[in-house]
Structure 1
Amino acid sequence: MRASTLLGSYIPGQTPVHSLDARVKLLALVALGIVLFASEAPYGLVMPAIAVIGGAFLAGLSACDILRALRPSALLLAFGLLACAFVADGTADIVLVGQFGISCQGAARGLFAAVRIVVLIAGSLVMTNTTTPSEVADALSSLMAPFGILGLPVGDLAMLTSVALRFVPLAAEELVRIRDAQRARGVDFAEGNPVVRVRRWLSVLTPLVVALFRRAEDLADAMRERGYRGHGRTRLTRSLRLTDIVVLVIVLAAILAACIA
């Protein structure tokens, strides 16, 4: 499994997106979410989608990388689309059985929501693949620094973010390792009806959860032995470059335009 197909996996590189300040990329991702969910018409998703495609191109990500990253959420997106499309109140545009059928308006609404999520996941992939977990945590600590006056544990929250991002690729690697081990024992995940397949995947998920808890316990012990007592992140103090400032102005303009529209 390529690391570039995983959210939270950093891929070293020398691309323009890699060189951007982590604070700017984090704000850009927040702006992307605001613009996507503030848009009430399909044409409002065009510019965010173009921006994400351009960012992925500059970051060296291919369409296959993005599609592989979307694969884990494909089932959830399909379920949401079907839930919006099928109705049982007699208002269906395409009647299947009795009052049960397909609503064109509901299908369009479900597709609109699915596209929103797809663009947001792709944007998250661009950011996480070009920013190390430490940079993300430091940027978060820097951006949330004003909330520290109110007593918010900014350093601890940033540390939790860093740990969570590091655990994403670790969980994927553990899943692949356990799945391959089960296949070596003769388990075929492609045969049988859906119920049988689910039962076979339980033989993977159960040891996966146990392994992740073991890793978490080892990490907690290591942090305890090194004397971690909270407030564990340092804010970014370097100044923004001209490129960072230009991108930041574009991001703030996008947020303002979404709020006004």
Structure 2
Amino acid sequence: MNNVILGRYIPGDSFIHRLDPRSKLLALLVYLVIIFWANNLITNVILSLFTLFAILLSGIGFKVFLNGLKPMVGIILFTTLFQMFFVRGGKVLFHWGIIEISDYSLTQAALIFARFVLILSFSTLVTLTTTPLSLADAVESLLKPLKPLKVPVHEIGLILSLSLRFVPTLMDDTTRIMNAQRARGVDFGEGNLIQKIKATVPLLIPLFASSFKRADALATAMESRGYQGGDGRTKYRILSWKAPDTLVIISLLGLGILLFFLKKH
């Protein structure tokens, strides 16, 4: 659980750290769109090099990103193997029962694997270099045009901020509860799948209980301090869009155009 880095912020003064959080969120949205244009070897290599360059600019070691991917290995492998064994089409290389491996299924499995790793790496880069409060401010700022439509912009930003803030706390609580259960003789890795699922029940109940207790305490604290969001509330953190932010968005748009023309039609 300590490897989960979603919601964690690593302080720094790199080029990526200094970017406006709004540009990082917009860059992430553009990245999520153009990654689906990377459907062959050349486009995936170009996108991978771009992602590695962005990680290098952040000043955060590659080991941190590798550790962050470890908790997602199961989901990545399951999705990749599903694509490999059950996607039909192309020249059949192996067939046994309902399992069929073809050159097309291998290609699709490789694409899915690459997309998972790249999306997780880029989204992790955004969260590691941006504080949760800055991300919430960025979301609120980007959604501001929807205010006339009665969209609760401030509340959405607040929910995002609290969610990201308490992800590491929940992970720490999970680790603490697991250690306490192990001390009482619970083995979370023993037995078959059903037994492993049953072993998580002593973990989930206290985790939910502590989460609701913390949420109630937070609500009471905000209410006792007279918290009111929305109009009329001043901000301590002022967002400032600068030339490097524009450069990042233009670079990603240029990358998207390149991938679009190089993708396999």
TM-score higher than 0.5 here? yes
Corresponding residue of 1:243: 244
In 2, the alpha carbon distance for the partners of 1:236 and 1:168 equals 22
In 2, the alpha carbon distance for the partners of 1:235 and 1:93 equals 61
> Do structure 1's residue 220 and structure 2's residue 219 form an aligned pair?
yes
The within-5 A match list for 1:29-178 is: 29-87=28-86, 92-97=92-97, 99-178=98-177
Kindly, what percent of the aligned residue pairs are identical? 32
1:188 to partner: Cα distance: 2.6
1:234 to partner: Cα distance: 4.8
In 1, the alpha carbon distance for the partners of 2:7 and 2:107 equals 31
The within-5 A match list for 1:246-261 is: 246-255=247-256
Give yes or no for contact 1:18–1:59 (8 Å, CA) kept in 2.
Answer: yes
**Length-normalised TM-score, structure 1:** 0.86
Corresponding residue of 1:9: 8
In structure 1, stretches of 5+ residues that fail to align are: none
Give yes or no for contact 1:9–1:169 (8 Å, CA) kept in 2.
Answer: yes
In structure 2, stretches of 5+ residues that fail to align are: none
Corresponding residue of 1:24: 23
Specify the code of the residue in structure 1 equivalent to 2:215: A
1:149 to partner: Cα distance: 2.6
Give yes or no for contact 2:20–2:240 (8 Å, CA) kept in 1.
Answer: no
Change (3 A) 1:150 1:108: same
Higher relative contact order (CA 8 A, sep 6+): 2
1:165 to partner: Cα distance: 0.8
In 1, the alpha carbon distance for the partners of 2:237 and 2:141 equals 6
In 2, the alpha carbon distance for the partners of 1:22 and 1:100 equals 46
Specify the code of the residue in structure 1 equivalent to 2:159: L
Q: What secondary structure does 1:94 align onto?
A: strand
Specify the code of the residue in structure 2 equivalent to 1:243: P
RMSD over aligned Cα atoms: 2.8
Q: What secondary structure does 1:61 align onto?
A: coil
Give yes or no for contact 1:139–1:236 (8 Å, CA) kept in 2.
Answer: no
In 1, the alpha carbon distance for the partners of 2:260 and 2:103 equals 29
Aligned length: 259
Give yes or no for contact 2:6–2:167 (8 Å, CA) kept in 1.
Answer: yes
**Length-normalised TM-score, structure 2:** 0.85
Change (3 A) 1:22 1:89: closer
1:178 to partner: Cα distance: 0.7
1:175 to partner: Cα distance: 0.9
Change (3 A) 1:126 1:101: same
In 2, the alpha carbon distance for the partners of 1:171 and 1:233 equals 30
